[in-house]
Each structure stands twice: as C-alpha cells, then as structure tokens.
Amino acid sequence: MLQTEKHYVQWQDNETSRNSRWLSESNQPPPARIVIVDDQTTADQAYRFACEGTSMLWRGDFHNARQLLQAMTRRIERTEQRKASKAAKSGKASTDATAIPNLFHLQRQAQGQRSRILSRVLLELDAGYSSRLRRAPDFSAACTAAFGELDEHCLISFRDLQGALGAAQWREKGVPISSLDLSIFPHYGVFAPTRHEYVQLMLDAPLPDTHDLAFDIGTGTGLLAIILAQRGVQQVVAIDLNPRALACAADNIQRLELTNVQLQQADLFPTEQPLANLIVCNPPWLPAKPSSPLEYAVYDANSAMLRGFLQGVSKHLAAQGEVWLILSDLAEHLQLRSREELLSWFSEAGLMVKYRLDTQPKHGRSQDATDPLFAARSAEITSLWCLTLRQQTE
Ligand SMILES: C[S@@+](CC[C@H](N)C(=O)[O-])C[C@H]1O[C@@H](n2cnc3c(N)ncnc32)[C@H](O)[C@@H]1O
C-alpha cells in the first residue's frame, strides 16, 4: 500500500538537466513533461498546461501557488458543470435503474481527473523538506511525519504537501469523540473517524458474557480497540495492514495509557492467538477500486476485505463468541452491493444474525441536496451487525 520503491524524475531546469527524487502519495508516475512557472503565470495558462498533461514546477511565492490551485479548481468545476448540463440536455443523464451506479462511477472518474489535474503543480524541496520559495512556511515536521525522512532533493505535488499540512493539524488538534469524552489523534494516511456515529453503536451493544479477549480487525486510529478496552474487555488485539495505522493506534493507546491493547500487522487476522470471544471490524464500506493508498480505508475492490473477513472469522471465534460488523448500507443505495448478497455472505460463512443496531449518519455530505448522489447518501444507515456461529444453536 505504501510507496516503498524510490522513483526519480528527469527534468530540464532552463538549460540544465536535473534528476530528482519523485514523491507521490497517490502513486502518480513521474511527470513526463515539466515547465517552470511563477507568479506571472495565469490560472488559464496553468489550467491549459495541466489539462494537456504538462506538469508545472512552481518558482513563485508560496501562497500564490495555493491561490493558483484554487483558481484551477474553479475552472475544473465550471467544466464539470458544463459537461453535466450538456449531458442532461442530450438526455444522457437518464434515470433508469443503472443511473445510480453510473453516477457513482462518473463521480469517481471526475474526482480522479480533478486530482490528476491539480497534482500537476509541483514544488521542489531540499533534503529535510526545506523550500526556497518566498514566504514558504517550515513544513519539515509535517512532511517528515507524513512521508518519512528525506535526505535528497525532491519534486512533490503541491497537493500532496497540502495533504501533509492538513494531516499535521488533525494530528495536533485531534478529533473529539463526544460520546467517549476523549479525542482521537489521526496520523497522515490513516482513516480519521470524523464520521463517528458508529461509536454509539459500539457503546450500546451488550458485551458478550465472556469478554476476556477481543480482536479489532482494521484498527485504523485504534478507536474501536480503545472502546473495547475502556468497556472492560481484558485483552484486545488490534490488527491493521497499514503500518501508518499501527503507528497511529500505538500513539492513541499510549496517550490514554491503556496497557491491555496489543497491536499486530497482519492481513485480516492475528497469528498465534487463542480464539476470541468478540471480533469487531469496520471495513472500508464502498466496493470500488482505491485510486491511491490513501483510499484503502474507504474503498474495497469487489468487497475483498469484507468477504475475506466474513469467510475467515469463524476460525478465530470462540464457540459462544460474537462478531460485531460495522457496515454502512451506502453501497446498497448506490446499487454496488445488494442486501441479499450481504446476507448470503453471512450464511456462506456459517454466521447468523443475532441482532442489529442502526444509526443514521448526520455528516455534511448526507445533507447536501446539490450532491448528485444525495438520494443515496441521505438514505444511508450504518449498522452494527452482531453475528454468531450458526452451529452454536443448530
Ligand atoms: C474504515 S477503516 C476503519 C478504521 C477503524 N477501525 C475505525 O473504525 O475508525 C478500515 C481499516 O481497515 C484496514 N484494512 C483494510 N484492509 C485490511 C486487511 N486486509 N487487513 C487488515 N486491515 C485492513 C485499513 O487500513 C483501515 O485502517
């Protein structure tokens, strides 16, 4: 998931040939064509360059680069609106049964295109992430926290840099989780629980009678493991594939001085552990291909993690144990997965539903009537499915 290989980009700095490290969090290939731009470059020129696939190395004032990006975003939005109204007039935006998944895929394509265009404004940074641009703030701490140490000159997109700066703010301020009376501190590249209505479900579900050992599969910031530990589960093993998530969970667990949460890097299930009485999982909830490592927490191609979790969970669960699966039904409203399919996966895995708790998300996007996917988003329900082994009662 994370970029482990180093990539380099060859470029012309006026008459001089240069070779620099290429940093791209979204795994964009090194740019094939780079021109040097500065405060004299207009937003129209920059937008044209970006649309034709030319990257721009910014040599102007640091804050003007931010404004340039905002001006380019407005041009992208205008183009998207023009395309949408043209499609509506030509009757392409039909409302037949396939329109909703199509809308979702078109929106994902548009997001991808927007990200590629905006990622074409580049900055050069020296070792330690220092910048020579006028009015550039010191972002070495934010970048080191996000991308690791840098001991050579690099080119990076201004957008990736903004991502690191934004993450550093979240990490410092934390995300308050009011129902727990604590804050969680997300790290760069880790799912931030800003939509945390499911926390209440985790608090409302009665713990199984025996709760000496629980697993949290895909722990992210460690939030669900922390809830279980605070609710009295004696030992919690929290798993994630993403090393950034494990470092983040370790940070949050340490801040709360919890000594009964153990972390393990694994694909789904821990190794060398006895059977657990409770296994919780809040998997990425949309069956679609992640377009960058940062999207792995939200998008799950072909529901691979969800299905892998369901298929494997019975081997790790004690006979009287419970599985708590946190899952939004947005994928159902987007017609990307049906309820029947989900229920059949439970059944094929030898699981049955003991009960289900529901909550309705209240986040901004579910209230935004201008969003083309408003109908689906406003109908979304997040559930805690309590599942048990079928043979237990048969
Ligand atoms: C939606 S986030 C949930 C994070 C956290 N449990 C919460 O509720 O806030 C899904 C998490 O699953 C992790 N993940 C995805 N695939 C995984 C796999 N195969 N094995 C372990 N963790 C995985 C992601 O890295 C991410 O942290």
CB-CB contact of 266 with 237 (8 Å): no
240 shares its domain with 335: yes
266 shares its domain with 212: yes
pLDDT for 157 beyond 90: yes
Give the CATH number, domain containing residue 310.
3.40.50.150
Instruction: Give residue 149 CA to ligand 1 midpoint distance, Å.
Output: 25
Is 307 contained in some domain? yes
159 shares its domain with 13: yes
Q: How far apart are CA 149 and CA 171, in angstroms?
A: 18
In the numeric block, which tokens belong to residue 337? 């997965």
Last residue of a domain, one of 169, 202, 220: 169
Q: Which range among 26-30, 83-87, 177-181, 266-270 shows the weakest confidence by mean pLDDT?
A: 83-87
- Residue with the nearest Cα to atom 24 of ligand 1? 297
Residues with beta carbon inside 6 Å of ligand 1? 191, 193, 217-221, 223-224, 239-242, 245, 267-268, 282-284, 296-297, 305
CB-CB contact of 319 with 278 (8 Å): no
Is 326 contained in some domain? yes
Q: Count helices and strands (H / E) in the chain.
A: 12, 15
156 shares its domain with 181: no
Pocket probe for ligand 1: among 2, 170, 191, 279, the residue whose CB has the most ligand atoms within 8 Å is: 191
122 shares its domain with 216: no
165 shares its domain with 179: no
Is 15 contained in some domain? yes
Q: Quick one: pLDDT band at residue 388, thresholds 50, 70, 90?
A: very high
Q: How far apart are CA 343 and CA 131, in angstroms?
A: 54
380 shares its domain with 251: yes
41 shares its domain with 185: no
135 shares its domain with 182: no
Looking at the structure of the chain, the number of domains it has is 2
Pocket probe for ligand 1: among 200, 219, 363, 382, the residue whose CB has the most ligand atoms within 8 Å is: 219
Q: Which range among 77-86, 120-129, 130-139 shows the weakest confidence by mean pLDDT?
A: 77-86
158 shares its domain with 257: no
Is 232 contained in some domain? yes
Is 83 contained in some domain? yes
Instruction: Give residue 310 CA to ligand 1 midpoint distance, Å.
Output: 14
Q: How far apart are CA 19 and CA 373, in angstroms?
A: 44
Is 234 contained in some domain? yes
pLDDT for 35 beyond 90: yes
* Mean pLDDT taken over the chain: 91
- Residue with the nearest Cα to atom 14 of ligand 1? 218
CB-CB contact of 199 with 225 (8 Å): no
**What is the span of the domain harbouring residue 325?**
174-392
**So what's the pLDDT on residue 96?**
52
Q: What average pLDDT score do residues 253-270 get?
A: 97
Last residue of a domain, one of 169, 195, 212: 169
- Residue with the nearest Cα to atom 4 of ligand 1? 220
**So what's the pLDDT on residue 296?**
85
85 shares its domain with 98: yes
Residue type, 227: I
Is 2 contained in some domain? no
Q: How far apart are CA 255 and CA 222, in angstroms?
A: 12
Higher pLDDT, 27 or 354: 354
SS3 content of the chain, % helix, strand, coil (to 5): 40, 25, 35
Instruction: Give residue 130 CA to ligand 1 midpoint distance, Å.
Output: 33
Is 120 contained in some domain? yes
- Residue with the nearest Cα to atom 8 of ligand 1? 282
286 shares its domain with 269: yes
Q: Please identify which residue in the block is written with the tokens 């960058």.
A: 292
Question: Rounded to 5 degrees, what are φ and ψ at 390?
Answer: -65, -40
Last residue of a domain, one of 169, 186, 201: 169
